[in-house]
Structure 1
Amino acid sequence: MNTLLVIIHILAVVVVVGPAMLLPFTAIPALHAHDAERVSLAGRRTLLFNGLTLVAAVLGILAALTADENVFAEVWMVISATLYVLALINGLVLLPPLMANAASALADGAADLDVEKIERRSGRLAGFAWANIALYSAVIILMTWQP
């Protein structure tokens, strides 16, 4: 049973974490193109895929519960779980509203958004997107390596 849960957990991670990590970057060119709909779509998809990572997390918890040893007390597991919660907060609470606000500003009047404002929003978005990649990557490395 444990092997099956581990396989399903890894498949879920592959399917949902990759898009959760990369989708925020699709909003940056859309922002520069003043395309409010694409920025909004990127925000909604980012929210969806970061939310779906909870399915992979629950499967991972179930796999750990059915394992022979208790991994919840391991340092790498505690660090991984903490980093995952930070990635989840970034992907659910910080990135989607940032994209929604940018899309709203573009939809309300793209004319009064000058290049400097676009660059500032784009830089903020890129920073949070890179943080998302760093956090999820650290979780993946720690979960795989199990130092």
Structure 2
Amino acid sequence: MIQPNKTQATAASVAQFISGVESERRRDEAATLLGLFGRVSGQDAVLWGSSIIGFGSTHYRYATGREGDTATIGFSPRTAKISIYTARNFREFPDLLERVGTHELAVGCLYIKKLEDIDLKVLEELLTRSYEVARIDYDARAENN
């Protein structure tokens, strides 16, 4: 049974969203992450909901029968922390989590206070592996197809 997610891809401008972020540091961090996520995914950024910048699209189906679409990887430059999202579980990559730097972790979300607290090369590897696994396991679709 397909139930729409609360957070859907929109046609809103990612650039306009980022320019509206209050903190200059967060705007700068968002610009850095735009490049990194774009490199990893090979996709254009799409605003999902009102505050998540997503790359790629993944269709998921749970054992309960619930299914839907979500960004394969994405981030949100929130006030307190940057939220980094994946369609996979970051805990699948413990070697990279140990090396990425200071963070907090939830199932599909990595929270970072500021980019200078982490190793961007390790984050890129973590996102690359997560993106590749999601494309295989969930048959992720490119946003531009």
TM-score (norm: length of structure 1): 0.31
- Structure-2-length-normalised TM-score: 0.31
Structure ranking higher in helix proportion: 1
Larger RCO of the pair (alpha carbons < 8 Å, separation 6+): 1
Which protein has the bigger strand share?
A: 2
Which of the two has higher C-alpha Rg? Answer: 1
